[in-house]
Amino acid sequence: MAISIKISKTTQSRIHLCDFENIEFGKIFSDHMFRVDYTDGKWQNPEIIPYGPISIAPSLSAIHYGQSIFEGMKAFKNDAGGALLFRPRDNARRLNVSARRMGMPEIPEELYMAGLTQLVQLDKDWIPTKEGSALYLRPFMFATDDFVGVRPSVNYSFMIFCCPVNSYYPKPIKVKIEEKYVRASSGMAGFAKAAGNYGISMLPSYEAKKEGYDQIIWTDGNSHEYVEESGTTNLFFVVNDQLVLTPKLDGNILAGITRDTCIQLLKEKGYQVEERKIGVQEIIDWCKAGELTDCFGTGTAAIIAKIAAIGYQGNDYELPEAEQRVVSNYLYNTIYGIQTGKIKESHDWSMPL
Ligand SMILES: *Cc1c(COP(=O)(O)O)cnc(C)c1O
């Protein structure tokens, strides 16, 4: 059944106000947004409307009790000017994994895809073309009951908006292995992209910044002996440019789509890739022996965020220069090439609109 979405176009595009050469991440929004509401047990009245404020009740249950989840993905343009999405169905499925954990209704994948593709098609001119830039897409769902009481909401909204973003080549970052705070533990919701998981990370990352670190590496809640992930990225460790290790999906970390892409590409390239528990002590030993030749976080925003130094119990362990990072440079160039249609691949990861 074809999904029909009511489209109300803006009468005043703001695109001429956007300086595509200098876009501040997350501050500029395209002309339109998608919205669909869940009432009476069904998703109803999908529509695309001009981007703008929405009206909510002070008692909105998402604000008080945190039933709020999100996704993040990007649209790119190929050389012919066509829009390309990267693994969009994987994002739709992951949103539903988060929804189940948070006691929220799932959204049918076809409805998600219809909203997403029609929105990106309509705001296609907002996809920047400069090297490294993209249109960041933010799907999210939140509880909308006008009711104060701890129980799953009955009503929800699902929305998508778009932000043009410039190339995001961050300089390699300095990270600290966190031993005081915990992001997620067994039985919690670490695998969900749920708003509360980010709320609880603000103070720990603020404290790490005060100590001179850009980001923290979370460790397990039981012993702080095993690493989990860092900020909104999954972690990879490369030993002697041969063995690639990443923490296994144990329910505490997010199943990153970039993570999965990296694992597949590296295996195809002949690397030995292991998904397993990785001990803090192992990492420190590799650092001391000069065997940690590459280390990076993976996520939609940066694709690959190189780690320059790892801080642990007051010592900083420096890693090789960015140019020498064989694995991270290969992954960044390959993934960005696939996303922009310059590199052909057989996985059907890149979806033309
Ligand atoms: C979004 C996110 C990631 C990366 O996921 P991608 O699908 O690669 O963007 C990793 N960790 C956390 C905590 C995240 O929120």
Q: What's the pLDDT tens digit per position in 109-155?
A: 999 999 999 999 999 999 999 988 999 999 999 999 999 999 999 99
Closest ligand 1 atom to residue 298 Cα is: 8
Q: Is 203 exposed, middle or buried (0-12, 13-18, 19+ CB in 10 A)?
A: exposed
- pLDDT greater than 60 at residue 1: no
Encoded tokens for 26: 């997350």
- DSSP string for 35-51: EEEEETTEEEEEEEEES
Residue-range domain boundaries for the chain: 6-165, 173-339
Q: Ligand 1, residues 74, 233, 263, 331: which to mutate, most atoms within 8 A of Cβ?
A: 233
- DSSP string for 64-122: HH--EEE--EEEEE-TTS-EEEESHHHHHHHHHHHHHHTT-----HHHHHHHHHHHHHH
- pLDDT greater than 70 at residue 267: yes
Q: What's the pLDDT tens digit per position in 245-258?
A: 999 999 999 999 99
Closest ligand 1 atom to residue 231 Cα is: 13
Q: What is the mean pLDDT of residues 89-95?
A: 98
Q: What is the mean pLDDT of residues 289-312?
A: 96
Ligand 1 environment, Cβ below 6 A: 72, 193, 229, 232-234, 254, 256-259, 298-300
- pLDDT greater than 90 at residue 24: no
Q: What's the pLDDT tens digit per position in 210-235?
A: 999 999 999 999 999 999 999 999 99
Residue 334 pLDDT grade (very low, low, confident, very high; cuts 50, 70, 90): very high
How far is ligand 1, taken at its centre, from the CA of residue 177, in Å?
A: 18
- pLDDT greater than 80 at residue 68: yes
Q: What is the pLDDT of residue 180?
A: 96
Residues 6+ apart with CB under 8 A from 91: 71, 72, 73, 139, 257
Closest ligand 1 atom to residue 300 Cα is: 9
- pLDDT greater than 70 at residue 30: yes
Residue 179 pLDDT grade (very low, low, confident, very high; cuts 50, 70, 90): very high
- The pLDDT > 70 percentage for the chain reads 99
How far is ligand 1, taken at its centre, from the CA of residue 9, in Å?
A: 32
Q: What is the mean pLDDT of residues 166-188?
A: 91
What stretch of H or E contains 192? none
**In CATH, which superfamily holds the domain spanning 173-339?**
D-amino Acid Aminotransferase, subunit A, domain 2 (3.20.10.10)
∠ CA 249-205-24, rounded to 5°: 95
**pTM as predicted:** 0.97
Closest ligand 1 atom to residue 260 Cα is: 8
228, 247 contact by CB (below 8 A): yes
Q: What is the mean pLDDT of residues 71-87?
A: 96
H helical segments located in 225-325 = 257-268, 280-288
d(CA 25, CA 85): 19
Residues 6+ apart with CB under 8 A from 210: none
How far is ligand 1, taken at its centre, from the CA of residue 256, in Å?
A: 5
Q: Ligand 1, residues 234, 252, 265, 338: which to mutate, most atoms within 8 A of Cβ?
A: 234
Q: What is the pLDDT of residue 167?
A: 74
Q: What's the pLDDT tens digit per position in 160-173?
A: 999 999 876 678 99
Q: What is the mean pLDDT of residues 246-274?
A: 98
273, 327 contact by CB (below 8 A): no
Q: What is the pLDDT of residue 322?
A: 87
Q: Ligand 1, residues 91, 97, 193, 253: which to mutate, most atoms within 8 A of Cβ?
A: 193
Q: What is the pLDDT of residue 244?
A: 98
Q: Residue 248 carries which DSSP code? A: -
Beta strand segments in the chain, E:
6-7, 32-39, 42-50, 68-70, 73-77, 83-86, 134-143, 156-165, 173-177, 215-219, 227-230, 233-239, 243-247, 272-276, 292-299, 303-312, 315-318, 350-352
Distance of alpha carbon 336 from the chain centroid: 15
What is the CATH number that goes with domain 6-165? 3.30.470.10
